[in-house]
Amino acid sequence: MLDDWNKWITRQLFTLKSNGLQRNLIQTSQATQPILVRHQAKLINFSSNNYLGLANHPKIIQAMKDGMNEGASQASSRSLVGTSKAMKQLETELAKYHNHEAALLFSNGYMANVGVLSSFLSHHDVVLSDRLNHASIVDGIRLSQAQHIRYRHNDIDHLQEQLQKIDCGKKRIWVVTDTVFSMDGDIAKLQELVLLKQRYGFALMVDEAHGGGVFGSQGQGVVEQEGLSPHVDIHIGTLSKGFGVYGAYVIAQSNWIDFLINRCRSFIYTTSLPPVVISGIKASLQLVKQGDHLRKDLRKKSVYFRNHLRDFGFHTFDSKSQIIPILIGDETKTVLFSHKLEQRGILSLPIRPPSVPVNTSRLRFSILASHQWNHLDQALETIQQIGKEMGVI
Ligand SMILES: Cc1ncc(COP(=O)(O)O)c(C=O)c1O
């Protein structure tokens, strides 16, 4: 019996390797800095989500050191003795930040998405989800057993077509979208989604994992930037990317949050975030609110980098954010491009199926506010050279 398992696992791994899809864990240091170290080499880092550079901010690090005085762990789940005064204060502050009723902290974005979707939805319900939504959204929907309809990426007409087929009188409907798509770097058509919501009366959930910190008047995200916050029923924010710390939160009406406290299994059955993390988030939130200069700098650098790649002839999808992919297509070629970049001092990791559809393998460049302009210029020159060598441009 065990032999069968072993044979199957070996076969699976062989197939992944033969198709250029095997993932390996490679030791990396200074991973949140614009220059990181891998295989003893210094590389310009285009693979971090530390968009505003806050993961290394002295104020956050000091706050986390101070937080250590409360002990290394909360050693309990939230509903037992794992809710501290600092956590309650932070949740109140997060709700105020979003000008909404209530907030609830989660261990991370994956658990927030899986927990929220599987708590609110059941097999009676229908959920429509953008085809490029994050894996945690897909997993949450699967766990809920709701009818799952994936509409074509950012295709509002296709979404409407699907909505028209549903008997709205009988079914409760939920629509969920990332705001900034992590693989294409483009942005959800939120205004149009809100118009559809007004027509069809569905609940609207957004995942601001890559919009948080980066967009919005104080970094609240794309929804706030577009003035649509009152139309969103569930807002998921993550604290490990733009905020540079760890964790996630949900913003919603008080009774929706109370429901999660009582029903959400990924919230209830896990140890709460440790005090150091809470202290770090609190410090980060202040910096994000005051971080307009960082947001502007990041935007300027992103536009510069993307425009140059487009001018060279790369296909950068519909990127409108700090996430800038270039299409390579074939998986093996994408891996080779990435290797060549690494040999010349640049780290951009290949993104392949199942993270993206077959034949759309790409290299993804994440721009950081902490990148120096010469980092960007050096990278652009090298990308152009390799692109020509490999016949991509
Ligand atoms: C869109 C999106 N949602 C959720 C997550 C998960 O967040 P976390 O890393 O906090 O688990 C990620 C990233 O990892 C993401 O890209």
Q: Tell me the percentage of the chain whose pLDDT exceeds 90.
A: 93
Cα distance between residue 89 and residue 363, in whole Å: 40
Residues belonging to the chain: 393
Using CB atoms within 10 Å of the CB of residue 315, give its burial: 0 to 12 exposed, 13 to 18 middle, 19+ buried.
middle
Q: Do residues 197 and 93 share a domain?
A: yes
Which numbered atom of ligand 1 lies nearest the CA of 247? 10
Which numbered atom of ligand 1 lies nearest the CA of 133? 1
Nearest to 379 by CA among 298, 299, 308: 308
Q: Do residues 38 and 163 share a domain?
A: no
Position 181, amino acid? F
Q: Is the CB of 218 under 6 A from ligand 1?
A: no
Domain that holds residue 78: 57-289
Cα distance between residue 129 and residue 145, in whole Å: 14
| Angle made by CA atoms 303, 304, 308, in degrees to the nearest 5 | 110
Q: Is the CB of 178 under 6 A from ligand 1?
A: yes
Q: Do residues 210 and 297 share a domain?
A: no
Last residue of a domain, one of 260, 289, 318: 289
Compute the distance from residue 106 Cα to the ligand 1 centre, in Å.
12
Q: Is 296 a catalytic residue?
A: no
Query: How confident is residue 20, by pLDDT bands cut at 50, 70 and 90?
Result: confident
Position 72, amino acid? A
Return the H-helix or E-strand segment holding 382: helix 373-389
Averaged over 227-253, what is the pLDDT? 98
Catalytic residue of the set 197, 241, 371, 375: 241
Q: From atom 8 of ligand 1, which residue's Cα is the shortest distance away?
A: 109
Q: Is the CB of 179 under 6 A from ligand 1?
A: no
Compute the distance from residue 168 Cα to the ligand 1 centre, in Å.
31
DSSP 1: -
How many C-beta neighbours within 10 Å does residue 282 have?
20
Q: What CATH number should be reported for the domain holding residue 237?
A: 3.40.640.10
Q: What's the pLDDT at 37?
A: 98
Q: Is 210 a catalytic residue?
A: yes
| Angle made by CA atoms 290, 294, 300, in degrees to the nearest 5 | 145
Q: Respond yes or no on whether the N-terminal peptide bond of residue 230 is cis (omega within 30° of 0).
A: no
Which numbered atom of ligand 1 lies nearest the CA of 182? 16
Pocket residue to mutate for ligand 1, from 106, 136, 180, 183, most atoms within 8 A of Cβ: 136
114: Cβ–Cβ under 8 A, 6 or more apart, which residues? 136, 139, 140, 143, 266
Pocket residue to mutate for ligand 1, from 132, 182, 222, 239, most atoms within 8 A of Cβ: 182
Q: What's the pLDDT at 25?
A: 94
3-state secondary structure of 53: coil
Q: Do residues 43 and 61 share a domain?
A: no
Q: Give the model confidence (pLDDT) of 52-110 as tens digits.
A: 999 999 999 999 999 999 999 999 999 999 999 999 999 999 999 999 999 999 999 99
Q: Tell me if 341 is assigned to some domain.
A: yes
Q: Give the model confidence (pLDDT) of 166-181 as tens digits.
A: 987 788 999 999 999 9
Q: Do residues 248 and 106 share a domain?
A: yes
Domain count, the chain: 2
Cα distance between residue 55 and residue 70, in whole Å: 21
Q: Do residues 246 and 99 share a domain?
A: yes
Sort strands 126-130 and 41-45 into parallel, antiparallel or unpaired: unpaired
Q: Is the CB of 207 under 6 A from ligand 1?
A: yes
